[in-house]
């Protein structure tokens, strides 16, 4: 298990993707199920400056992952979304790293870049089709609390 980092020093362009050790210092936003708040448009500037961190770990082994090794201050949750990848198709909350990265970029307003990260992945368009309506709603929220309210209203209406 390792942490994946996407450095984004310039808005609108992914600059570097690299693997980093879990204990290495990272100032960016880390997508984690232990995050205290949802990722939102409010995180855009921070992500543009410091990047996005992803946890590269199978959902089957998530219970074995030691979340205490992650920095605590910039962890974020992704709101409710449905996976389109070949392993977890149709399952809510079971996104892989590229889906999580794309969703985050969409939510912070980098909608074209959210599509670009799916280059080479057969399920990219399907992910955006399955989640397009709710991603658009999330992208209009000013902060994580509003994202959670929109998520809960969406789930109450459609599920």
In the predicted structure, residue 13 carries a pLDDT above the cut 70: no
Q: Name the strand (E) or helix (H) holding 49.
A: helix 44-50
pTM of the model: 0.85
Distance of alpha carbon 113 from alpha carbon 76, whole angstroms: 20
pLDDT digits (tens, 9 = 90+) for 28-59: 898 988 889 999 999 999 999 999 988 777 65
Distance of alpha carbon 41 from alpha carbon 142, whole angstroms: 6
pLDDT digits (tens, 9 = 90+) for 116-144: 999 999 999 999 999 999 999 999 999 99
Distance of alpha carbon 52 from alpha carbon 107, whole angstroms: 13
Distance of alpha carbon 52 from alpha carbon 18, whole angstroms: 11
Pairing of strands 16-20, 52-56: unpaired
Sign (positive or negative) of CA dihedral 10, 116, 44, 58: negative
């Amino acid at each position: 298990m390792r942490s994946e980092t996407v450095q984004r020093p310039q808005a609108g362009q992914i600059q570097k993707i690299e693997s980093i050790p879990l204990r290495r210092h990272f100032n960016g936003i880390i997508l984690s199920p232990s995050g205290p708040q949802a990722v939102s448009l409010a995180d855009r500037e921070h992500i543009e400056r410091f990047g996005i961190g992803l946890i590269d770990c199978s959902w089957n082994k998530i219970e074995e992952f030691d979340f205490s090794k992650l920095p605590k201050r910039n962890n974020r949750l992704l709101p409710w979304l449905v996976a389109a990848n070949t392993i977890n198709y149709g399952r809510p909350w079971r996104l892989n790293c590229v889906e999580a990265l794309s969703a985050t970029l969409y939510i912070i307003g980098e909608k074209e870049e959210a599509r670009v990260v799916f280059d080479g992945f057969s399920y990219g368009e399907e992910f955006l089709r399955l989640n397009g309506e709710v991603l658009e709603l999330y992208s209009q929220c000013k902060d994580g609390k509003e994202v959670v309210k929109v998520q809960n209203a969406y789930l109450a209406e459609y599920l």
